[in-house]
Structure 1
Amino acid sequence: MIRSGLFALLLLAATACSQRSYSTRELVPQALSQHKLVAILPFDVQLDKLHLEPIAYVGTDVSPEEVEKRRQRWEAKQQEQRKVVAYQLQQELLRQLVLRQTKHPYSVQFQNVAETNSRLERAGITYANLNDHSMAELKAALGVDAVLSGETSLFQPLPNGVAVALLMLTNVGVPQSEVLTNVTIHDCQSGELVWKFDHQQVGELSASPATLARVLVRNSARTFPYRR
């Protein structure tokens, strides 16, 4: 398994404490009551970080072509990081749900992540084209009643060292880091969105996918639809 690292790099020294808020909605309870097996998909991860490397070469003897190459390499690395975090969140969310299930049983079983990803691969469904497939196609590939998926957007206006330096030099605060996450459950039979949980964190970011997954499971526990 690829080691976690991205979230640790996104830690920001904020002048204020982290603030969290969340909301949840159960949209089609009758569909939820019919589910027996649920698959967890890799998260859709978006990263929004300022890239300072090209700026560092302005006015130097580095050619514009070389700056562009470095920018492209950075973007390729960002794409790979998105994918890494996507699968880490998928695995960690399953782990947190299973841990909670030992004390608070659910009415459904969660498909093993390795099984989910193997079935997706056999069906030709990749991380890149996952959103292009219908719920019927996912049902046929996975053999489940519902899919649990998530979207996470991470915004870091300035790298850690730059933010601290700016604060010290100018005494002007910088925009705080922000994580926006929503977790959804879709019914495979109808394709309907049947449950949604939204989570926002402003300030110091979660240190790892495991931390974010734990927060999501804990904060959604009272309204999670499969509680017995």
Structure 2
Amino acid sequence: MLRSLSIVLAVLLTTACSQRVYSTKELVPQALSQHKLVAILPFEVQLDQFNMQTISYVGEELSQAEVEKRRQRWEEKQQEQRKLVAYQLQQELLNQLVQRQAKHPYSVQFQNVAETNSRLERAGITYANLNDHSMAELKAALGVDAILSGETSLFQPMPNGVAVALLVLTNAGIPQNEVLTNVTIHDCQSGDLVWSFNHQQLGDLSASPAALARVLVRNSARTFPYRR
């Protein structure tokens, strides 16, 4: 329901230099002009990280049962981390928008994250089943005109330290870490996607959710639809 429908912006960041290219558009300007209150949802987060838990070291022999046990622990840890990052991004994005609004007023107000999450909980809408609910159900639960949502995918083929060691030892190219983030605004009345913003980051993935939120707000500032 809140999946990305189009790619309208790409940002390329590397650890050595940065290059940014923007191309964006308001998909339904007339709907955006009617919005007064916007809710920000917890992000949908996907993690594809190198699993160190099931590796056996020199002198260590793992049974199939132990491998399976470690795999399950890894998956549980990943699930907890996804949820943690999801709510951190939700709060940090609101923080950044509110800070920017103090200097560059928007034509809308953003619902407090605590209020958003409380309303979702009262309506029986959880992080696990968020995408199963229609826009009409979310509108009824949140009482807003529009919903700002996001999804982030992190691909980390191997830990940063291991990647650096391999590069030094072999001088060979290795897969780069990558973060893809898409932020969208949907109109609650029609359910239409009315604005979309995409961000790609390659290289060092040590940045926090707060840092990512700052980048998203800063880079989308010129095209964010609610500027006065």
Contact 2:15 2:204 in 1 (8 A): no
Paired letter, 1:105: P
Shift of 1:59: 7.7
| Matched-pair contact (CA < 8 Å) for 1:42–1:87 | yes
Backbone CA RMSD of aligned residues: 1.7
Q: How does 1:88-127 map to 2 (within 5 A)?
A: 88-127=88-127
TM-score by length of 2: 0.89
Contact in 2 for aligned 1:18/1:201 (Cα 8 Å)? no
| 1:180 aligned partner | 180
Q: 1:21 to 1:154 in 2, by over 3 A?
A: farther
Q: How does 1:151-162 map to 2 (within 5 A)?
A: 151-162=151-162
Would the alpha carbon gap of residues 19 and 76 (structure 1) be closer, same or farther in structure 2, given more than 3 Å must change?
farther
Q: CA deviation at 1:52?
A: 2.6
Aligned residues: 215
Q: 1:20 to 1:66 in 2, by over 3 A?
A: farther
1:148-198 Cα shifts (integer Å, max 9, x gaps): 000101111110221122112111121111111010000000000000001
Structure 1 match to 2:132: 132
Does the Cα contact within 8 Å between 2:56 and 2:62 map onto a contact in 1? no
- Please show how residues 1-228 of structure 1 align to structure 2 within 5 Å: 16-17=16-17, 21-56=21-56, 60-205=60-205, 207-228=207-228
Asked if the contact 2:107/2:227 (under 8 Å) is kept, the reply is yes
The residue type paired with residue 48 of structure 1 is D
- Give me the whole-angstrom Cα distance separating, in 2, the residues matched to 1:112 and 1:166: 45
Structure 1 runs of 4+ with >6 Å offset: none
Structure 1 unaligned blocks of 5 or more: 1-13
- Which amino acid in the other structure matches residue 42 of structure 1? P
TM-score of the two chains, using structure 1 as the length reference: 0.89
Structure 2 stretches lacking a partner, 5+ long: 1-13
Q: Could you tell me how far apart the structure 1 residues matched to 2:50 and 2:22 are?
A: 26
CA distance in 2 between counterparts of 1:53 and 1:160 reads: 16
Q: What is residue 8 of structure 1 aligned with on the other side?
A: none
CA distance in 1, matches of 2:15, 2:186: 39
> Partners of 1:84 and 1:144 in 2: how far apart?
25
Match of 2:5 in 1: none
Post-superposition shift, 1:202? 1.2
Conservation of the 8 A alpha-carbon contact between 1:20 and 1:202: no
With CA pairs under 8 Å and 6+ residues apart, which has the higher RCO, 1 or 2? 1
Q: Quick one: structure 1 residues 89 and 22, their matched pair in 2 at CA, closer, same or farther if it must change by over 3 Å?
A: farther
- How far the C-alpha of 1:61 sits from its partner, in A, is 2.6
Check 1:58–1:121 CA distance in 2 against 1; reply closer, same or farther (3 A cut): farther
Distance 2:204 2:113 in 1: 29
Q: Is the contact made by 2:97 and 2:217 (CA closer than 8 Å) also made in structure 1? A: yes
Query: Taking every aligned residue pair, what percent have the same amino acid on both sides?
Result: 85
Which residue of the partner structure matches residue 7 of structure 1?
none
Confirm or deny: 8 A CA contact 1:178 1:202 kept in the other structure: yes
